[in-house]
Structure 1
C-alpha cells in the first residue's frame, strides 16, 4: 500500500508537470510517460544522495573527532593509573600494596565520572583524602589501637589540621574543573553528530520532488534538448527545499563557537593532561607533607579525641611511613602511548580546525548541493541561455533569508507548518550550548543521560562535493573503543510522517507532523483512501486550470 501511495504521488506530480510543460492536451484520458515517471524518481534520488552525502561528511568529522578524543583521554587515564602503581610500588613497597585499594578506588571514581557522570567528583575526592588521612594516622601510630569511634573523631579534625597541606584543595579543584570540561566537550562533540543523524531523518517532501522534477525535466519541452536549468534556478529550488534546514544555522554557529571556547580552555587552564599525568607526584607530595608533620598532627588529635589504648600484644607490622621511604634513584619512565605521542594540543588544534569550517554549513547547503558532482552535470554553468523555470532567459537568485516563507514560483510552503525535527534540534543545541558555557566558566554541569545512545567509532561516510570531507589519514581510529551509554544528551527526536494527506487543515498537518504510522498498520486506511480519491479530483481541477495557463503561455511564446 505504501508503494501504491508513493506511485500515486509521483503520477500526480508528473501529470501537473506535463501540463505545465505543454506536452499534453486536456482530454478524457491523460497518457502517462513511464520514462517521465522514472526521470521524476531519478532526480529525487540524485538530490537525496547529494544531500545525504554532504551532510554525512560533516557527521563523519564529528564522529571521528569524538572517537579520537575519547580514545586519547581513556589512554591518558589508563597510563596515569599504571604509572601511579609503578611509582608507589617502588617507593612504598608492601605498605602501598596493602592499602592500594584506596588509590584504585580513586581512579575508578574518575573513570566512572567520565563514562557515565554518576559520580560527585567533590565528594569522591574528599572521601579519598579522608581515607588516606585515617590510614596514615593509624600507620604513624601503629603502637595504638583505634576503634571506629576514635577514627571518626580523627576524621572530623582533618579540615582543621590540614595534614596534607594545600594539596587536597588544589588537586581537587584542578581535577574537578578539568574532568567536567573534558567530559562536557566530548559529549557536545558526540551530540553534534547525533543532531546531524536526526536531520538525515527528514524526508523529501512531495512539493520539493515536484520542483526538482520541473527543474530537470521541463527544459526538454523547449526548443533545445541540450538546454539545462540555470545555476541560480537550482539554488532557489534547493533553497526552498531546504528552507527548514537553514533555520538550524544560527544555533549551530553558536554551538560551534561554544565548542571552540571550551577547546581553548582545554589547551590552557583546564588542560586535562597537565592534571592527570602528574597525579602520582601530587598525591605523593601530600603523603610527604603528612610525614613531616605527623608528630604534631598526632599530638593535637590525642588532645582532641583522647589518648588511645596501647596494644597489649604488639603484632609484627609492615614497614610504616615513619621509616621515611625515599623515591627510587631511577624513577619509573612510562612507555610511549597514543596519548603521549599524539599530544593533547595537537588533537585539540585539529578538532578546532575541522569544526570551525562547519560554521554557516546549513545556509551554504544549497550551494553545496547544486555544485555536487551528481547534480552539477544537470545544471548550466552560467545563468544565461538556460532554463529559468518557464523560459530561456537570465535567472535572478533570491537571497532573502525569509524567502521560503513566501509563495514563490518554485515552492509554496505553509508558514504555519513547522518542521518538528529542526525545532527539536534547535532546542537541543541551546541545551548543549548552556552546558558548554557552564564548563567554560568552571561550574558544575548537570549532564543529561541517554542510555539508548552509542558512540560511533567507525567514522564511516565520505564523499565529494561538500568541502567538509575528512582527511584523517594521520590518525588510525580504534574500532573497539569502550561504549559509554550516557555519553550524549537526549535530543528525543519526534518522528515525521512519510507523506501528508491532501485536504487536511493546517492544524491537522501540524499534529500529523510529529506522528508516524504505526509499524503494523498500513499507510492508508479507508478514511485516507477516501481522502486520496478526493485529492485526485482536486488534481483534475488543477489540470484544467493549468491547461488554461498552458494556452496563455503558448500565445505568449
Structure 2
C-alpha cells in the first residue's frame, strides 16, 4: 500500500510522459534532409551519447551531434525569421502597395494639371513662344518630385522657372515689337531677373504656397516609407546568442530525442518568443501612435492641402506675376536697357503664335481613384494593424509554433501534459524574470527605429514643423539658404532675407489684376479677365475656394469648347 502511494505522489510531482531513448534515428535523418538543414550523413544512424552537446544535452542516448546542434541553431533562427516575414507580409503589402498607388496617382495628377495650366496659360498669352511650355513642364516635374520626397528645394525650382520666363515675357509681351533678341541679351535678361524683380512678390508667394500646401502630402508619403523600413527591420531580426539557444532548445532539441512531431507548450513558447522579441515589442507604443498620427494627418489632407486643389492653384501666382511685369513694362524696359543695353534684334525671326490645345497633347484619362479616396481606404485598412507589434510573439505561438491545448507538449526538457513555469508579460522590463531567455537589454537597432517613429509621428502631428519653422529632416535644405528667413522671423511675419528681390520684401497677398494690354482678344482671355474681376471682391479662404471653383469651370468649358 505504501509503495502505491509513493508511485502516485511521484506521478503528481513529475507529470511528464516517460522519456525513453530513441531506438533509431531514421525519422530524424529524413526531416534533417527534407528541411534542408544539412546532409543525411550528418545524422548518426543509431543513437549515441550526447556528452559533447551544449544545449540539447541529455542523460539518455541522442540522435544529435555537436555539428547537428550548430546546424539546428541556424535553422531555428531562420525558421523564426521566415515566420516573422510571413506574419508581416499582409501589412507590408498593404503599405508598399498603397505607396505605389499614391505615387502613380500623384504622377498622373501632376501631368494632367500641367496640361490644363499649359492650355490656360497659352490661351491667355498666345504670343509667348513654345519655350514656355518646357519651363512649365520642368516646374511641374520638380513639384511632382518634391511631393515624392526629392531633396530639391521648392524655391530653387520656382525661381528657376521665373528666371527662364522673364526673357520670354520681356521680348514678347513687354516689347512685342521686337522680332527677336540675341542669345547674349536673353542670357543677360535672365541673369538679372532677381535683382530687377519684374514679377514682384509672386515668385515667393508661389514657392511658399506650393511648399505649404504640398508638404503634408510629402510627409504623409515619407511616413509610409518609414513604416516599410520598420517592417523590414523587424523582419530581419538579429537574435542574441541567448535567444538563438532558446529557439534551438524549443524547436529542435526534441528531435534529438526522436520526438520529431512534438511541439512546444503554449506557455513555454510564449516565454521564449516574448524574450526573443522583447525589443521588437517595445515598438508597440510608437507604432500605435504612428497609426493614429497617419489617420489624423490623412483627415487634414483636404481643401487647400488636397493635392488636386493645391496643384490647380499654381497658375494664379504665375498669371499674376506676368500681369505685374506687363503693368511695369516701361520701367522694366528702362532698367533692362541700363543693365543689358539695347536689345540686338535678329533678322528674319517671327513670333510663334501658340495655338490652343497644342501645348501638351490630349489630356490623359483621369485616374480610376483619386488621392483622397485611396488614402481613406488605406487608413481604414491600416487601423486593423494598430496592435500588430503588441501581440507579435503571441501570434507566432498561437498560429504556428505551439501545441494545441490539451495535447502533450515539449517544455524544454521533456514531453509533458502542461507547462508549469511562470509565463511573463511582453516588453523588456518583464523579461527580468523570464525562466527561458536571458534578455540583457534593448536592441540598439530597435532603439533607432523607435526614435525614427517618434520623429515621424511629430512630423505627422505638425509638432516638428511648428518647433523649427520648416521640415529640417525630410527637406534637407532648399538649395538657396539665403532666401530663407532667419532668427525668429518666418514667412507668416511677412519678412524674408535680402539679396534676391522679391525675397527681400514683406510678402503681400496681391489681388489678381486685369492686364493692361493683352495682344489676343479671344474668348479664353475674356474669361480669364472675368475670373480676375470676380476674385477682386473675395478674400482669405473664400478667395482660394472661389478661385478653384472658377478654374475648374473654365477648364471644363475650355476642353468642351
How far, CA to CA, are the matches of 2:85 and 2:371 in structure 1? 32
The 5 A counterparts of 1:252-331 are 252-277=287-312, 279=314, 281-282=315-316, 285-286=319-320, 289-290=323-324, 294=326, 296-301=327-332, 318=350
Conserved 8 A contact 2:267-2:419 = no
- Further displaced range: 54-63 or 301-310: 301-310
Q: Residue 251 of structure 1 is aligned with which of 275, 286, 305?
A: 286
> TM-score, structure 2 length as denominator?
0.59
Tell me whether 1:337 sits opposite 2:363 in the alignment. Answer: no
For residues 28-68 of structure 1, the C-alpha deviation after alignment (integer angstroms, 9 at most, x for no partner) is xx64457x969888766654432231133333322222222
Paired residue for 1:508?
none
Tell me whether 1:443 sits opposite 2:431 in the alignment. Answer: no
The 5 A counterparts of 1:126-165 are 126-139=159-172, 140-143=174-177, 156-158=195-197, 162=200
Shift of 1:265: 3.2
How far, CA to CA, are the matches of 1:151 and 1:220 in structure 2? 78
Conserved 8 A contact 2:266-2:419 = no
How many corresponding residue pairs?
414
Tell me whether 1:239 sits opposite 2:274 in the alignment. Answer: yes
Conserved 8 A contact 1:168-1:286 = no
How far, CA to CA, are the matches of 1:408 and 1:133 in structure 2? 72
How far, CA to CA, are the matches of 1:347 and 1:316 in structure 2? 54
Q: Residue 81 of structure 1 is aligned with which of 104, 110, 114?
A: 114
Change in CA separation of 1:101 and 1:50 when aligned onto 2, cut-off 3 Å: closer
Conserved 8 A contact 1:181-1:440 = no
Tell me whether 1:426 sits opposite 2:450 in the alignment. Answer: yes
Conserved 8 A contact 1:177-1:443 = no
SS where residue 130 of structure 2 aligns?
helix
Change in CA separation of 1:18 and 1:289 when aligned onto 2, cut-off 3 Å: same
How far, CA to CA, are the matches of 2:188 and 2:63 in structure 1? 92
Tell me whether 1:398 sits opposite 2:424 in the alignment. Answer: yes
Q: Residue 60 of structure 1 is aligned with which of 73, 81, 93?
A: 93
The 5 A counterparts of 1:482-497 are none
> TM-score, structure 1 length as denominator?
0.59
Change in CA separation of 1:353 and 1:17 when aligned onto 2, cut-off 3 Å: same
Conserved 8 A contact 1:261-1:440 = no
Conserved 8 A contact 1:202-1:421 = no
Unaligned runs of 5+ in 1: 25-29, 450-557
How far, CA to CA, are the matches of 1:149 and 1:85 in structure 2? 26
Alignment root-mean-square deviation, CA: 4.8
Paired residue for 2:142?
109
Shift of 1:392: 4.0
Change in CA separation of 1:399 and 1:170 when aligned onto 2, cut-off 3 Å: same
Unaligned runs of 5+ in 2: 1-36, 44-49, 477-561
For residues 106-147 of structure 1, the C-alpha deviation after alignment (integer angstroms, 9 at most, x for no partner) is 234334545663422123313423543453233222346985
Paired residue for 1:408?
434
How far, CA to CA, are the matches of 1:183 and 1:12 in structure 2? 61
How far, CA to CA, are the matches of 2:204 and 2:380 in structure 1? 35
Shift of 1:342: 0.6
How far, CA to CA, are the matches of 1:271 and 1:69 in structure 2? 13
Shift of 1:310: 8.1
Shift of 1:92: 4.5
Change in CA separation of 1:412 and 1:211 when aligned onto 2, cut-off 3 Å: same
Shift of 1:430: 4.0
Shift of 1:277: 4.0
- Further displaced range: 177-186 or 69-78: 177-186
Tell me whether 1:359 sits opposite 2:383 in the alignment. Answer: no
Change in CA separation of 1:414 and 1:120 when aligned onto 2, cut-off 3 Å: closer
Shift of 1:394: 6.7
The 5 A counterparts of 1:127-206 are 127-139=160-172, 140-143=174-177, 156-158=195-197, 162=200, 168=203, 170-206=205-241
Change in CA separation of 1:211 and 1:116 when aligned onto 2, cut-off 3 Å: closer
Shift of 1:206: 4.9
How far, CA to CA, are the matches of 2:91 and 2:300 in structure 1? 24
Change in CA separation of 1:320 and 1:226 when aligned onto 2, cut-off 3 Å: closer
Change in CA separation of 1:446 and 1:185 when aligned onto 2, cut-off 3 Å: same
Conserved 8 A contact 1:58-1:358 = yes
- Further displaced range: 80-89 or 57-66: 80-89
Shift of 1:443: 2.7
How far, CA to CA, are the matches of 2:386 and 2:52 in structure 1? 36
Q: Residue 349 of structure 1 is aligned with which of 362, 376, 380?
A: 376
How far, CA to CA, are the matches of 1:430 and 1:409 in structure 2? 32
Conserved 8 A contact 1:83-1:332 = no
How far, CA to CA, are the matches of 1:94 and 1:143 in structure 2? 11
Paired residue for 2:398?
371
For residues 502-542 of structure 1, the C-alpha deviation after alignment (integer angstroms, 9 at most, x for no partner) is xxxxxxxxxxxxxxxxxxxxxxxxxxxxxxxxxxxxxxxxx
Paired residue for 2:21?
none
For residues 318-365 of structure 1, the C-alpha deviation after alignment (integer angstroms, 9 at most, x for no partner) is 5699xxx9978xx99834233xx2101111112322333333322210
How far, CA to CA, are the matches of 2:194 and 2:239 in structure 1? 65
RCO greater where, 1 or 2, for CA within 8 Å and sep 6 or more? 1
Change in CA separation of 1:131 and 1:332 when aligned onto 2, cut-off 3 Å: closer
Change in CA separation of 1:413 and 1:87 when aligned onto 2, cut-off 3 Å: same
